[in-house]
Amino acid sequence: AIRMTQSPSSLSASTGDRVTITCRATQDLKFRLAWYQQSPGKAPKLLIYATSSLPSGVPSRFSGSGSGTDFSLTISRLQSEDFGTYFCQQYYSNPLTFGGGTRVDMK
Amino acid sequence: EVQLLESGGGLVQRGGSLRLSCAAPDFIVRGNYIHWVRQAPGKGLEWVAVFYGDGGTDFADSVKGRFTIQRDSSENTLYLQMEDLRADDTAMYYCARGVLNYFDLWGQGSLVSVSS
């Protein structure tokens, strides 16, 4: 199975900050990498797919980049509704696997 | 709005069985796959199983041989049948639509608690 490692596991930030989360895979994902946001008590929500594509309705302050085994999610200007936990997920091969999550909370 | 509706969670003893339901309109499911993903309390996400449109299924090694998926086409409902439940099966279970195996729609979740 492909192992996904996220860093940091948590961070504290203020509204307006630029935040970057990284995700590393144990093999080349051929850009098949997604990111999800989860607010407390809620189901995850798709933020980015295919490394850098935003689904309809996701604000443009979210962006994704990367290739091969190294990927990142950037929030250009953190908003209050962005606090929560973020997960990366590879869908290059089964079993589908997730990173351990990055908790973003208020400084 | 919620487009995948889950039900059937609850408290069960170790070794017991439980069936989760995931109701999804046909237009949501058509041409895509339906997955189950779980999250143990305070933990990350773990893929559990997938139902392919042709009726095929696949399961994580951790549940293989204990979990199965059935479909009731007339009610647009999928069922995750869980047998021989263990304490480490305790989790919130989500059904989710898979598009090329990333998840673009999620249910609200159904909590399964296994007591020892």
* Chain B residues within 8 A of A46 when measuring between CB atoms: 102-104
- Taken as a whole, chain B contains a residue count of 116
Determine whether the interchain pair A100/B44 forms a contact, defined as Cβ–Cβ distance below 8 Å: yes
% helix, strand, coil for chain A, step of 5:
5, 50, 50
**pLDDT tens digit sequence for B70-95:** 988 777 899 999 999 999 999 999 99
**pLDDT tens digit sequence for A42-79:** 999 999 999 999 999 999 999 999 999 999 999 999 99
**pLDDT tens digit sequence for B41-52:** 999 999 999 998
Evaluate whether A62 touches A77 at the Cβ level (below 8 Å).
no
Residue B72 is predicted with a pLDDT of 85
Residue B55 is predicted with a pLDDT of 82
Cα separation values, A87 from A1, A40, A45, A72, Å = 17, 13, 10, 11
CA atoms within 13 A on the CB side of B54: 2
Put simply, whether A31 touches B (Cβ < 8 Å) is no
Q: Averaged over B99-106, what is the pLDDT?
A: 92
Residue B26 is predicted with a pLDDT of 76
Residue B57 is predicted with a pLDDT of 94
Distance CA B113, CA B14 (A): 9
Measure the CA dihedral B6/B44/A32/A48, to 10°. Answer: 70
Q: Averaged over B54-76, what is the pLDDT?
A: 91
pLDDT at B2 over 90: no
